[in-house]
Structure 1
Amino acid sequence: MRLTPIRCVSSTCLGALLSVLGLSAGNAWAGGILIYEAGQEGNGLANAGAAALATDPSVLMSNPAGITQLAGTQISANAQVILGDLSFSRDSNNQFDGNEGGNALQWLPGASFFISHQLDERSAVGFGTYGNFGLALDYDDDWAGRYFTQEAAVIGVSFQPTIAHRFTDQLSVGVGPRIVYGYYRTEVAINNNLLGLLDRPDGQLEYKDTDVGTGVNLGVLYTVDERTQVGLAYTSKVKLEFKDSPDVRNVSNPIINAALRRLDVDTLELDMTIPQTVLLSVAHQLDPQWKLLGSLGWQDWSDFGQIGVEVDADAVGVDRTVDRQYKDTWHASLGAQYQATPKWRWNMGLGYDSSAVDDEDRTVDNPMGETWRLATGINYQVEKGLDLHMAYTLVWLGDMDDEQTKARSGTTLSGTYRNSALHILGGGATWRF
């Protein structure tokens, strides 16, 4: 997801408002961290084989063509929680006062629901609702980076009807129109301390809104032989437009107040885009117990480099920076399923995602980097028509340096996020009729 430069709404250019207020509008951990996990059994595979493995209706999220492989009517209901460990530590180059912000990424619950129905031997329909993007940051209000961000949240829920058809015994094609409900919120402190000569309490800016965007998921599934399947899936970009009035409170800096009076702003509009992706997956049945899985993926982040504004005001004027230098990201994963008994299946996977930003371009409102995924999970067949599953994924980001400088004041925020990680726990059930 990205935030474009601010557009002019009403009679004024709203970018000037953000320049004066010092708003840094980030996208809360969207960038190079695509959330593949949505509570389904595939959580335990680190996305390995996601577009080629059709064991339950959740496959429509990764590859709509996969539901042609599912017999009868199947329902999958899942829940998960994302626990974070993201703590900023200042270093000797830091020039802002305040604390270190605490753990900025606490926890985020999620749920998903999928259903598929076989129309005949070749056609199937399905529906899924799931959240596979968006996290949230919540720093202490008086932390050192409060003039860059205090809170930022992006929550997205997708609704996807799906239809798929098997054109030959080997080739299936599926399409899933996608409706995304998005929620965005950001909060940032406003520096009332004019030229560093006075000691006034900070002001506050809060902005939040919701929107609905549309896109499409397309997929092809090809059966090479009775042991090997290859899947290729494409998801289009989805554009969300947030448009609301910012809530500005307790501003006593005369420069900011004068600018607000001049601008007479009614509405602030931010555009956010979920980028297009491509995923290629392979699933190979090695023997009756072992199935090997792999995936390669691409996410189109380079088109969305200008994702926000980071600004700064002084007695002379204002300055604004919008280009975050985003670049395309790549995904690779390997995994395996071990059918220990007719009832027990063990999943395992290892995945890697490159970073959408270089180290020198990292920001505290979106402190992302390259990620490693280590995942495992189990599936238990309670009876012929009911499976239960649980999974755990460690998303490891490690140490991430961050250094940001206000263009006019020259004040620098500097430090490191040490041993950064996400822990994703999920589970659910699949019923087959």
Structure 2
Amino acid sequence: MKFRRSPISCLMLSICSFHAAASGILRDETASAYLGSAGAGRAADIGASAAFNNPAGLTYLDHKAFQGTLLLVEDTFTFHDNGSSGNNADFDQRKKDTDYGKGFSGGGSLFYGQPLGEKWGVGFAFASPAGGATDFGDNWIGSNFIESVEVMVAVAVASVGYRINDQWSVGLSAGISYMAWELDMDPFPGASENLDLDSFEPVWSVSVMYQPWSHTRLGLRYTPGVTHEVTGKTTMTTPMGTLIDHASQEFNLADQAVLSLDHQLTPKLSLLADVEWAQWSDWEESRIIHDNGPTIVVDRDWKDAWSAGIGLSYQVAPDWTLKAGIAYDESSVSKAIHKLDPPADRQIAYAAGLGWQLSDSTRFDLSYQYMDLGDVELNQSIEGFDPIAGAPFSQQIVGQSEAHLHIVNLSLSKRF
């Protein structure tokens, strides 16, 4: 990848830096109490969060139900240099290695569901299934590519479920997805640029729930992909002054399908499982268009990705439940074309959770998940122009990066 003779020559970090990942990138169990099972079983949900996880599950509600969650995330990124080179004036002063921890970032979700007659269930969900922030600083070797990034995706949907018979239910949700993307970088020595872009797009999903026996549920949800064309202002500060521009960038979020199982093995022990597919092969390139500047094209050529998870839920006492799970996500990016974004290869999630039934109508869940995002071998180049020095510059990043996440979810559920 080479950007030639541009004062804004850089890599624009894509949506892949989301702290949530599955089927290569997006993992949506962070929005609900299913974090404690590593997402296993979420499409077989029959609580308030079914308004998000599987609207067909709303038909199982016999009371009004509410769930609120609080999400805390800590991410760490490590880069080890293996011979990077560059002729820009400040290259030798830059840190060749970096070990960066953001500290805590967070978010939250709200879910509501209620029965409507004997066969219908309705609900609403406001959730942030993906987002994150990373700040590498302006003195590391890759700041010409990226200095810091913040990404958030939030969705608000209305959902409805219909029970066909004792075994089959179907569901539908529709609403709005909001994406915000902010990037800071150093396009050439002595300069810094900020891009602050966002967009709204419609979203929908369809789902089905099958209960062959009273102790077994299978849930399937399909969510079509969304193309967010984020637009907004860019500000570049240089010794020659400040330049204001506008830019746009398309992010193609994949079609996703998830199949889940919730099977009661014994009166106290349940098996939870998931298989998920995401069609990332439609994303061939990233194209950032400046109104009064360059168009930057980054080849992607991603591939479809699968993930699978398995978990257990065990009632250790009448009011206490333990959960545990593990999930494996294959990478949507082949090793041959891996770039600084995403800072992830294959991903493995290890999770545990504790549920406390405070009363007949109130439940509290505490969940923890550790995500190993794998190791990435990097060999990435950039060619740009330094208008201050009046000369072109080049840089090549060669090294290895690794990243991991600690995620904590607090959830309160209430029946009315």
Does TM-score exceed 0.5, indicating one fold?
yes
Taking a change above 3 Å as real, the CA distance of residues 243 and 327 of structure 1, as seen in their structure-2 partners, is same
The answer on 1:247 being equivalent to 2:235 is yes
Find 1:294's aligned residue among 256, 273, 280: 273
**Which residue of the partner structure matches residue 170 of structure 2?**
173
Q: Structure 1 CA distance, aligned partners of 2:143 and 2:113?
A: 47
Q: Structure 1 CA distance, aligned partners of 2:329 and 2:270?
A: 23
Taking a change above 3 Å as real, the CA distance of residues 213 and 319 of structure 1, as seen in their structure-2 partners, is closer
**Which residue of the partner structure matches residue 140 of structure 1?**
137
The answer on 1:26 being equivalent to 2:13 is yes
| Correspondence list, 1:17-416, <5 A | 19-28=6-15, 29-30=17-18, 32-38=24-30, 40-54=32-46, 56-95=47-86, 96-97=91-92, 98-99=94-95, 100-103=97-100, 105-192=102-189, 202-250=190-238, 267-308=246-287, 321-406=297-382, 411-416=395-400
- Alpha carbons 1:38, 1:79 under 8 Å: kept: no
Superposed CA RMSD in Å reads 2.6
2:129 is paired with a residue whose SS is: coil
Q: Deviations over 1:39-68 (max 9, x none)?
A: 5321101111111132x2112222111111
Q: Structure 2 CA distance, aligned partners of 1:353 and 1:406?
A: 30
Q: TM-score, normalised by structure 1?
A: 0.84
Q: Structure 2 CA distance, aligned partners of 1:173 and 1:18?
A: 55
- Alpha carbons 1:101, 1:140 under 8 Å: kept: no
- Alpha carbons 1:24, 1:308 under 8 Å: kept: no
**Which residue of the partner structure matches residue 196 of structure 1?**
none
Taking a change above 3 Å as real, the CA distance of residues 234 and 251 of structure 1, as seen in their structure-2 partners, is farther
Cα drift, residue 120 of structure 1: 1.5
- Alpha carbons 2:352, 2:367 under 8 Å: kept: yes
Q: Structure 2 CA distance, aligned partners of 1:188 and 1:70?
A: 49
Taking a change above 3 Å as real, the CA distance of residues 414 and 16 of structure 1, as seen in their structure-2 partners, is closer
Percent identity, aligned pairs only? 26
- Alpha carbons 2:344, 2:374 under 8 Å: kept: no
The answer on 1:431 being equivalent to 2:410 is no
Higher strand share: 2
The farther-off stretch of 398-407 and 66-75 is 398-407
1:383 is paired with a residue whose SS is: coil
Q: Structure 1 CA distance, aligned partners of 2:410 and 2:313?
A: 17
Cα drift, residue 129 of structure 1: 0.6
Gaps of 5+ in 2: 385-392
Taking a change above 3 Å as real, the CA distance of residues 337 and 221 of structure 1, as seen in their structure-2 partners, is same
Cα drift, residue 382 of structure 1: 0.8
Q: Which amino acid aligns with 2:179?
A: G
Q: Deviations over 1:245-294 (max 9, x none)?
A: 321110659xxx9xx9xxxx953221223221000111111110111111
**Which residue of the partner structure matches residue 405 of structure 2?**
422
Q: Structure 1 CA distance, aligned partners of 2:178 and 2:357?
A: 34
Aligned residues, how many?
392
Taking a change above 3 Å as real, the CA distance of residues 17 and 115 of structure 1, as seen in their structure-2 partners, is farther
Q: Which amino acid aligns with 2:339?
A: T
Gaps of 5+ in 1: 1-14, 193-201, 311-317
